[in-house]
A = this chain, B = another copy of it.
Amino acid sequence: MADIERVIMPGVTHWHSPRFYAYFPTANSYPAIVADMLSDAIACIGFSWIASPACTELEVVMLDWLGKMLGLPEEFLACSGGKAGGVIQGTASEATLVALLGAKARAIRQAKEEHPDWTDYEIISKLIAYASQQAHSSVERAGLLGGVTFRNLPTDEKFRLRGDTLQEAIQKDRDAGLIPFYVVATLGTTSSCAFDVLTEIGPVCNKENVWLHIDAAYAGSAFICPEYRYLMEGIECADSFNFNPHKWLLVTFDCSAMWLKDPSDVINAFNVDPLYLKHDQQGSAPDYRHWQIPLGRRFRALKLWFVMRLYGKNHLQAHIRKQIELAHEFEALVLSDDRFEIVAEVLMGLVCFRLKGPNDLNEALLKRINGNGKIHLVPSKIKDTYFLRLAVCSRFTESADIVSSWQEIKQLTTLLMEEKKH
């Protein structure tokens, strides 16, 4: 343990420091840690129901609880009695890839019905997936991994993908004899926390028979607060929905919650079922190995159970609301200084801001900020505009941290401006 302090801690980036504002939050809480300890102690591998029934069954129930807490439409939940249900993936990247592979399997199956003479490879070469230019890098990467073409579509002035843009792109591809098959809509982009307009995108996807996957990795947690659900209107059109309780809902990494209205295509796409993995109860409960890329899986539903029971909906809502409030507090401070501008509407816990003026000025400022070691930010760039991102990350961040962090930024800005003058 002494070596942890000596060797490890000096090289750790402190994601839970109250003044860590980089990337997006990664969650942490005592209930989640205790649940992980139990999971490590039980140490079962839940690849099939029989390999540890409680591991599978608790996951089915927890994803229903969580889905209800978010206000997901009932057709995503296992309790609806259909094929639907949730599953814990490791990361949102995997959820995007799993949905893409399901959509690909469905598209191949449907194209073969219409064109029995086409080979799989011919069909795959025609498949087109879509996301906004602001989608996360893992979306483009899912296309690379899945071996299909992705189109990154332009966004509106609020960095949102709109229905018309999607409709046009799909029509253009259909006219060229291609097969639009998959759309990823982002609720809460990484660069600026923009929300694609689902009420427009959803109907286009349904009309065009295109699988709609929703990536709400960060912002999805906010839907436990009813006042933010307007941002997911249109979700009823989606085939799959994903968000990361391990980002903003106090559940330690990894716990990425994904729901599928109809998992059949995902399950059938990867289904290899050797005798040593078969069991008598197949079909009566999910064998989650068919829902994911890996075979093995830990008992992660325990973390969800512990966090939901020990905090309860009210405390989880309070956590989300507090962090959004802190972001608005920082936004107000930025707006109070006319050297700065806000780059994107602040809806969640992320504030995108910059010094008015050229990009290199902002790059220089960020270098000073991170070099000074008191707070940590990462930048982003949209349409050639470079800006700084302040994401309220830590559960320990308080108003005093926001105020002193702003002081730090202001002081470094003043110094920088003075040096520029000389």
Contact = CB atoms under 8 A, between A and B. Distances in A.
A293 B15 contact: no
A57 interface: yes
B125 A147 contact: no
Nearest to A26: B45
Interface string A265-308: 00001101111110000000000000001111010001000000
B147 A273 contact: no
B90 A294 contact: yes
A18 interface: no
A44 B296 contact: no
Nearest to A190: B276
A386 B269 CA distance: 27
Interface string A120-146: 111011000000000011101100111
A93 B15 contact: no
A62 to B, nearest CB: 12
A147 B146 contact: yes
Contact of A93 (B33, B120, B295): B295
A380 to B, nearest CB: 5
Interface residues of A, number: 82
Number of copies: 2
A14 B302 CA distance: 16
A43 B36 CA distance: 12
A51 B23 contact: yes
Nearest to A386: B275
A415 interface: no
Interface string A35-75: 01110111111000011111101100000000000000000
A11 interface: yes
B273 A137 contact: yes
A112 B28 CA distance: 47
A119 interface: yes
B52 A12 contact: yes
Interface in A224-260: 246, 252-254
A144 B124 CA distance: 13
A40 B16 CA distance: 11
Given A36-B36, A145-B270, 6 more contacts: A23-B276, A28-B41, A93-B294, A191-B276, A246-B296, A275-B378
Closest 3 CB pairs of A and B: A11-B54, A121-B125, A91-B294
28 contacts: A11-B52, A11-B53, A12-B42, A13-B50, A23-B276, A26-B44, A26-B296, A27-B43, A28-B40, A28-B43, A32-B40, A37-B37, A43-B252, A90-B294, A91-B294, A93-B293, A93-B294, A94-B293, A137-B295, A145-B270, A147-B147, A191-B276, A253-B298, A254-B296, A275-B379, A275-B380, A275-B381, A275-B386
